[in-house]
């Protein structure tokens, strides 16, 4: 039976004109090279190399054999190298940065896709610096920060909504919203117990700015829980309301643990991007991340 390693060895000896150089190139011993060439000569029935003082010289049969196999062998090696590269790219450890507030709803979906991921929790600006300085491979961000050395791919959109615990009667509020009585709506919201993931209440401020045209809401957060997912988990077990990303509340609403209090078109959507270094190109790992997260952010 033909052994392809014989032909690899033949190619290297033919190119280098020397058994020792071929052995170094192939990372095998010189006796192994000699043995494989001898076995190939036995297989084809012709002498392939004549020994000289400083190496070997191909015979006419070797020249003919080289012409017959070189193109096919090169194609085979290209396929093999491409397969190894893709397999390595798919299975190597990749480093992904993401906000801790979006990990459970977005980042966690990558775990089924890849075998090795090192996650880091940072916010947009820090994530950009990490990718730009080549300290992590990819980042999932909610800010447009494309530069010469980085590229971004849009994955989808998210937006802020107001959710509440399932024991809250929101019928009166929804009637006020329907009648566009925003002063009454604001008063109703101010009377609720509020949960937030940040003492600076960035989500609430943004909501109040777009909906009530006020830079500063008059409500006060009752509970500050510095992880949006954990905040929603606590809210689902107690009573109150919160402004949150719709993607984070999705599973809680589907399971009946939380209810949508207010989802308004006055709130703008926020794009979610995959950020990577431009030098590395958008390889198969990046394509896998993009494909997986686009399913989530439909």
Averaged pLDDT, 53-75? 86
CA nearest 127: which of 277, 280, 282, 286?
277
Mean pLDDT of 111-120: 89
Give the domain range for residue 64.
4-91
Query: Which residue do the tokens 């777009």 mark?
Result: 210
SS3 state of residue 186: helix
152 & 228 share domain: no
Task: Kindly state whether residues 78 and 20 are assigned to the same domain.
Answer: yes
Distance CA 77, CA 92 (A): 22
Cα–chain center distance at 294: 11
pLDDT digits (tens, 9 = 90+) for 148-159: 778 899 999 999
Q: Are residues 180 and 253 in the same domain?
A: yes
Q: How many domains does the chain have?
A: 3
Same domain, 201 and 250: yes
pLDDT exceeding 90 applies to what percent of the chain?
58
Shared-domain flag, residues 64 and 30: yes
Tell me the per-residue pLDDT of 26-38, one tens digit each, with 9 for 90 and over: 888 889 899 989 9
Residues 166 and 252 grouped into a single domain: yes
Q: What's the CATH number where 40 sits?
A: 1.10.10.10
Please tell me whether residues 73 and 166 are part of one structural domain: no
137 lies in the same domain as 280: yes
Looking at residue 196, what is its pLDDT? Answer: 96
Q: Among 46-55, 72-81, 125-134, 250-259, where is mean pLDDT lowest?
A: 72-81
The verdict on 135 and 180 lying in the same domain is: no
Asked if residue 196 and residue 138 are part of one domain, the reply reads no
Q: Return the minimum-mean-pLDDT range out of 67-71, 120-124, 250-254, 263-267.
A: 67-71
pTM, two decimals, is 0.67
Give which of 247, 241, 246, 244 is closest to 261, Cα–Cα. Answer: 241
**Domain end point (choices 91, 111, 138):** 91
Query: Does the structure show a pLDDT above 60 at 91?
Result: no
Q: Among residues 62, 91, 120, which one ends one of the domains?
A: 91
- CATH at 176: 3.40.190.10
Q: Check whether residue 128 and residue 85 sit in a common domain.
A: no
Burial of 31 (0-12, 13-18, 19+ CB in 10 A): exposed
| Domain limit, last residue, from 91, 119, 146 | 91
């Amino acid at each position: 039976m033909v052994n392809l390693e014989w032909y690899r060895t033949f190619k290297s000896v033919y190119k280098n004109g020397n058994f020792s150089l071929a052995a170094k190139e192939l990372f095998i011993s010189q006796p192994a090279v000699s043995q494989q060439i001898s076995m190939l000569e036995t297989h084809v029935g012709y002498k392939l190399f004549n020994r000289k003082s400083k190496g070997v010289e191909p015979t006419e049969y070797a020249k003919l054999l080289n012409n017959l196999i070189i193109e096919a062998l090169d194609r085979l090696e290209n396929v093999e190298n491409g397969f190894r590269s893709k397999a390595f790219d798919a299975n190597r450890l990749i480093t992904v940065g993401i906000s801790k507030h979006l990990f459970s709803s977005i980042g966690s979906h990558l775990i089924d896709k890849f075998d090795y991921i090192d996650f880091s929790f940072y916010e947009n600006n820090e994530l950009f610096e990490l990718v730009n300085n080549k300290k992590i491979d990819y980042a999932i961000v909610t800010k447009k920060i494309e530069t010469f050395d980085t590229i971004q791919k849009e994955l989808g959109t998210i937006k802020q909504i107001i959710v509440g615990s399932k024991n809250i009667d929101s019928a009166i509020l929804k009637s006020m919203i329907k009648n566009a009585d925003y002063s009454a709506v604001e008063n109703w919201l101010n009377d609720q117990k509020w949960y937030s993931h940040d003492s600076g209440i960035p989500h609430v401020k943004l909501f109040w700015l777009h909906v009530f045209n006020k830079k500063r809401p008059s409500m006060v957060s009752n509970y500050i829980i510095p992880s949006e997912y954990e905040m929603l988990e606590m809210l689902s077990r107690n009573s109150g309301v919160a402004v949150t990303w719709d993607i984070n509340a999705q599973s809680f609403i589907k399971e009946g643990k939380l209810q949508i209090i207010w989802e308004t078109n006055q709130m703008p959507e926020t794009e979610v991007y995959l950020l990577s270094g431009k030098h590395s190109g958008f390889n198969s790992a990046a394509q896998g991340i993009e494909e997986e997260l686009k399913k989530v952010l439909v």
